[in-house]
Structure 1
Amino acid sequence: MHLFIFILVYPFIWVLSKLPFRVLYFISDVVYILIYHLIGYRRDVVRKNIKIAYPDISEEKLNTMMRKFYHHFCDIFIEMIKTMSISEAEMKKRFVFTNMEVPGQLLNNNKNFILCLGHYASYEWVLSIHSHHDNKGYAIYKKIKNKYFDTLIREIRGKWKTNLVVNKEAKVKITEVLKEKNDKAVVFGFIMDQSPSNARNKHWAKFFNIKTPFFTGVEDIAKEHNLPLLFLGTKKIKRGYYESTFTVITENPREHKDYELTDTYAQLLQKQIEIAPEFYFWTHKRFKFMKGLDD
């Protein structure tokens, strides 16, 4: 069945990837009408998440934010498909890194590091970072159940010399890579804003108006291997154009108290979201577990 579905869908995806952006964004607008107005995909989840983050938001502003979010939500998947055929020159024009000298200094000094970011703006096109340097990159991701689509996603995301690692294998893989005698430093990328499915034994970080559990695996790995930790914040300039900026969280993770790095990450992520909250992925159950700030 998985193969049958893939055979049906893949030709459509391939054709889409060849279309110019103006046509793709027209299609995105049509899809927006379907999933927001007609189907109402996860609309209740998005509404609940935004109201938790912004408890005083008016109904008018809430509805405006939701409409903007769903427009962006559709654009992101269209842009991911376009990655199949987009040229390196076009990508560099549309996705700009404002301060590549920050990671460049670490790489030039042969220092491996971790890059963390949230499901914000264009997290898919962030992978084009590897077209700006010759170092190996490893991106941690959640495996798709349909193995054929999983292979396709790996190919799309691997276009910019990125090696995808299943999240459950990340810790072992990173240890293996670091034990190898690499001629050049390597980069490990994590998206780490999801609330864990199990709130026990996770760190409760302040995030907007509440405390919610964050994964601590990135902090644990950074301290275990003493890897510098960088945050990547992205701005959507206009439709199809983005700018990303690196912020150094720490170059010496072992010098920090437990969970201090996770707390810093949570605040950097929140600060980024507050600039333009419509570009955050509100469809995930961000606040499945919650505590008051005084708890």
Structure 2
Amino acid sequence: MVALASLPLSVLYVIADGVYLLVAYVVRYRWRVVTENLRNSFPEKNETEIAALARGFYRHFSQILVEILKLRTISHAELQRRVRMRNPEVMTDLFDQGRTVLAMGSHAGNWEWILSAGAFWFPDKADGVYKPLSNPFFEDFMYRLRTRTGARMVPMRDTLRDLVRRRNEVRSLSLLSDQAAGPEDQPYWTTFLHQDTSFYTGADKLAAQFHYPVVYVGIRRVRRGYYEVWLAPLYDGNSPLDKNDFVLAEKFARQLELDIQAAPTEYLWSHRRWKHKRTPKPAV
């Protein structure tokens, strides 16, 4: 792995082109899931257009794979050059006020590079919540990648405990808020990309309890290997917030929907985002 990650990105992208041909045309990795997700999300598009979007996604996905691998050896200077933040003052102004910030991100663009680059933009202040992998080898491998530049990882199950223990620290805590929330998570349901969709409500609950400001993190590929990140304030942490109104989950869903529609091939369509169905409330 290290030897492969040591190759220049220009060489890794040649490998990515081969991976693209393999997963899109030979293995057809999760082709049915990808095309079904695209078809339901863009009902106005015909089958030719859906297939073109699917191929665009597989090309993007193949490049993401080698970019994530490159985190093992990429220099600080190169990562900073390849990932630019449009408006870091949204975060730094809150840090200057002594505030901890919740950052709501998604599986768009290169989500792994954002946190690693964030450790450069905001030294000692970039933490990320994650769900540990069941495979010990890949869990260790991904943990090392994610923390190599100085970011700190917080297991999802330990989020509340970590916030209480480190309540006096000024930092950002990143949440990938577009994962498929199941019934046990008591999700918020809304219409998202023309589908009934469940969202985690952790940001609403934590912001209401700790009065944390919340920002949306957007990312867009500028060209191959280069990304632009921007921040959009969702909640200032000052006004009262009802954790049961799910205002933040709804704002996040609307902003993410716009971003996906603007760059549809850059979202993680192989993820089974809509595997859960809403359970009807029992009749009174």
Moved more, 254-263 or 67-76: 254-263
Q: Which residue of 2 aligns with 1:167?
A: 156
1:144 Cα deviation from its structure 2 partner: 1.4
Name 2:215's counterpart in structure 1.
Answer: 230
CA distance in 2, matches of 1:166, 1:73: 25
Q: Is the 8 A contact 2:185 2:200 kept in 1?
A: no
Question: Alpha-carbon deviations, 1:34-87, whole Å to 9, x = none?
Answer: 111111111100111111111121111111100010011111110011111111
The CA deviation at 1:253 is 6.7
Tell me what 1:267 maps to. Answer: 254
Cα displacement (A) at 1:201: 2.8
Cα distance between partner residues in 2 of 1:134 and 1:203 = 33
Distance 2:161 2:126 in 1: 16
Count of aligned positions: 275
CA distance in 1, matches of 2:175, 2:134: 20
Q: CA deviation at 1:200?
A: 7.1
How far residue 148 of structure 1 moved from its aligned partner, in angstroms, is 2.8
SS in structure 1 opposite 2:270?
coil
TM value normalised by structure 1: 0.89
Q: 1:220: which partner in 2?
A: 205
| 1:275-290 paired onto structure 2 within 5 Å | 275-290=262-277
Q: Which residue of structure 2 aligns with residue 102 of structure 1?
A: 90
Q: CA deviation at 1:252?
A: 2.2
User: Which residue of 46, 52, 55 corresponds with 2:40?
Assistant: 52
> Which blocks of at least 5 consecutive residues in structure 2 are unaligned?
279-284
On the 8 A contact 1:235/1:242 being kept in 2, the answer is yes
Q: CA deviation at 1:222?
A: 1.3
Cross-structure match for 1:70:
58
For 2:194 and 2:141, how far apart are their aligned partners in 1? 39
Secondary structure class of the residue paired with 1:57 = coil
Instruction: Report what 2:30 is aligned to.
Output: 42
The answer on whether the counterparts of 1:233 and 1:244 sit within 8 Å (CA) in structure 2 is yes
**What amino acid does structure 2 have at the position aligned with 1:205?**
T
More off after superposition, 252-261 vs 262-271: 252-261
1:78-124 deviations in Å (ceiling 9; x for gaps): 00111111111111111000111110101112111101111000101
Q: Distance in 1 between matches of 2:78 and 2:42?
A: 37
Is the contact between residue 219 and residue 262 of structure 1 (CA under 8 Å) also seen in structure 2?
yes
How well do the aligned residues superpose, as a CA RMSD in angstroms?
Answer: 1.5
Deviates more, 1:206-215 or 1:234-243: 206-215
- Matched residues in 2 for 1:87 and 1:288: separation? 38
The 2-side partners of 1:225 and 1:30 are apart by 48
1:227 and 1:204 mapped to 2: Cα distance? 23
Deviation at 1:199, TM superposition (A): 6.9
* Distance (Å, rounded) in 1 between the aligned partners of 2:185 and 2:234: 26
Match of 2:106 among 95, 103, 118: 118
CA–CA separation in structure 2 for the residues paired with 1:198 and 1:34: 36
**Correspondence for 2:147:** 158
- Which residue identity does 1:116 align to in structure 2? M
| Percent identity between the two aligned chains | 27
Q: Deviations over 1:236-286 (max 9, x none)?
A: 011100000000001127534411111001001111111111000011111
For residues 149-168 of structure 1, the C-alpha deviation after alignment (integer angstroms, 9 at most, x for no partner) is 21221111112211111112
Preserved contact between residue 135 and residue 187 of structure 1 (Cα < 8 Å) = no
Shift in Å at residue 140 of structure 1? 0.8
Structure 2 match to 1:83: 71
Is 251-260 or 223-232 further displaced after alignment? 251-260
Residue 32 (str. 1) matches residue 17 (str. 2):
no
Please report how far the alpha carbon of residue 290 of structure 1 lies from its aligned counterpart in structure 2 after TM superposition.
4.9
Instruction: Please say which of residues 201-210 and 80-89 is displaced more in the overlay.
Output: 201-210
Q: Secondary structure at the match of 1:48?
A: helix
SS at match of 2:166: helix
User: Quick one: which amino acid aligns to residue 163 of structure 2?
Assistant: I
Partners of 1:102 and 1:201 in 2: CA distance:
31
Supply the distance in 2 between the matched residues of 1:80 and 1:201 (Cα, whole angstroms): 32
Q: Mind listing any 5+ residue stretches in structure 1 that lack a counterpart?
A: 1-12
Other-structure match for 1:197: 182
Amino acid at match of 1:14: V
TM-score using structure 2 length? 0.92
Deviation at 1:223, TM superposition (A): 1.0
